[in-house]
Amino acid sequence: MTAPAIELKGISKAFGPVQANKDISISVAPGTIHGIIGENGAGKSTLMSILYGFYKADKGQVWIKGQRTAIPDSQAAIAAGIGMVFQHFKLVENFTVLENIVLGAEDSGMLMPSLRRARKELKALEEEYELFVDPDARIDEIGVGMQQRVEILKALYRKAEILILDEPTGVLTPSEADQLFRILDRLRAEGKTIILITHKLREIMEYTDTVSVMRRGEMTATVKTAETSPEHLAELMVGRKVLLRVDKVPARPGAPILEIENLRVVDEVGVERVKGIDLTVRAGEIVGIAGVAGNGQSELLEVLGGMRAGSGSIKLHGTSLPLEGSGADASARRLAHIGHVPEDRQREGLIMDFHAWENVAFGYHRDPAYNSGLLMDNAALRADTAAKMEKFDVRPPDPWLAAKSFSGGNQQKIVVAREIERNPELLLIGQPTRGVDIGAIEFIHKQIVALRDQGKAILLVSVELEEILSLADRVAVMFDGMIMGERPADQTDEKELGLLMAGVAGEAA
């Protein structure tokens, strides 16, 4: 019999009192796509970081292709034929694609020979796996889909036979995700072994051969994908039955809360990103903005949230809000009872080196509940953070932990808890469940619907059409900075929205 590509035997790892992995064993067959799923904080990324040499297990063994293998660091993992694409890419943004590919894998003291050899090998890899990318483009000049290709090419350039991908579609549009899985199918056909960490059950069911389920640091099951169902996997992940749809009563929209007229946004280099849009969001309704990333949705949220200047008219409860200059910043928006969950939690929602309790204070640090005389009441703030962490099931529930020490999904829960718990009149929320597990998705969706049912207005931006259709009451589609059309969510489908997202307007869509 062919030896497993990977065997982990009795792996355990603790961080202080937190047992991240507990006596985990797993076997991965060669030439397969093996899924690993579990809630945020279940220990998936820790386990794979042990395999890649980022962490050292407290106990247990790693076997590669039938041979027991010591992996003290990432160099040893690379030498063993293992590559990893992290959820948050490890690229130098002001380096070119080619320079990032070569970085750490130079074959001589002179850089130019290494770059020439890499350029030749990169061209061969691009053609073999259809991973085309401009080798001379700087990382900060290309989109996240292309950046992910660079990470995969980095691993293949280092002769990886085993590829680990941690939440690979969390930052991709649907079309980019489809392209990624076509690439993974090609890699599997070439005999590569792929480990796919994801919280998206659709991806597991469509693309994996086998799936392992983790819960609270332990391995609960490994099953053939063809022999299971999304409902069964969700129950294994969470330990209870999970509703895989948004449970909500029909909306009862009231008076307009947000009114946008002829809104225009020009970026730093003079390109018009939002081109005269009109939009209304009423009390007691969720309006979803669908569209491929880069078509003005981000700029729309940034203007409404006070992070970017614009022109035109924005009214809240009939009162005009300034769009530039004094009174148009994020602080003023919060004072107007506008909550904002930004699309990029790490760059815009959190300061990664600060404690969780400090992040919960950001933007609301002048609240009387957090102040005592001239000084902030840090004890009250930490108690408030602990309560929010318990309500939103943030793991571990430690207010003193730095934001960077939480998994991506738990970072998102901190941001969502901070904004929703302020009871805003208008909630702006971008990519609410990006990188979030199935149990937390259900919880966050319930909180958003509960806010709607209290008569609040919600403007939701998501690249997940399934999320838009199930959560929103009304859907507006943006393309090239314009709104191509609006539809009641229960009177449209992914096909029609997809045509609008491609710029096919009106009756044609």
Statement: residue 303 has pLDDT above 60 = yes
Q: Is the peptide bond before 17 cis (omega within 30 degrees of 0)?
A: no
Within a 10 A sphere around the Cβ of 365, how many other Cβ atoms? Answer: 12
Contact indicator for 176, 464 with CB cutoff of 8 Å: no
Q: What is the tens place of the pLDDT at every residue in 263-289?
A: 999 988 899 999 999 999 999 999 999
373 against 335, higher pLDDT: 335
Angstrom distance (rounded) from CA 474 to CA 489: 5
Specify which residues 222 forms β-bridges with.
Answer: 212
Q: What pLDDT was estimated at residue 352? A: 94
**Pairwise CA distance, residues 300 & 307, whole Å:** 10
pLDDT at res. 174: 67
Q: Classify residue 109 by burial, with Cβ atoms within 10 Å: 0-12, 13-18, 19+.
A: exposed
The rounded distance, in Å, linking the Cα atoms of 476 and 6 is: 46
Which has the closest alpha carbon to 2: 62, 66, 67, 82?
66
Asked whether 95 and 136 are in contact (CB, 8 A), the reply is: no
CA distances to 86, 95, 147, 152, 175 from 89, in Å: 6, 14, 8, 10, 20
pTM above 0.85, yes or no: no
Chain segment 393-423, per-residue pLDDT in tens: 888 899 999 999 887 778 999 999 999 999 9
- Residue 434: pLDDT band (50, 70, 90) is confident
**DSSP calls for 281-335:** EETTEEEEEE--TTSSHHHHHHHHTTSS--EEEEEETTEE--SSSTT-SHHHHHH
Q: How far apart are CA 223 and CA 241, in angstroms?
A: 18
| % of the chain surpassing 70 pLDDT | 96
| pLDDT score for 108 | 63
At residue 16 the predicted structure's pLDDT band, cuts being 50, 70 and 90, is confident
pLDDT in tens, 61-119: 999 999 999 999 999 999 999 999 887 788 888 888 888 888 877 766 667 777 888 88
Q: Name all domains of the chain by residue range, CATH numbers in brackets.
A: 6-238 (3.40.50.300), 256-350+424-508 (3.40.50.300)
Looking at the predicted structure, is the pLDDT value of residue 499 above 80? yes
Task: Quote the strand ranges of 110-209, DSSP E.
Answer: 162-166, 193-197
Is the pLDDT at 180 greater than 60? The verdict is yes
Residue 173's pLDDT is: 64
CA distance 319 to 336: 10
- Dump the DSSP string for 46-64: HHHHHHTTSS--SEEEEEE
Least confident of 6-20, 90-104, 348-362: 90-104
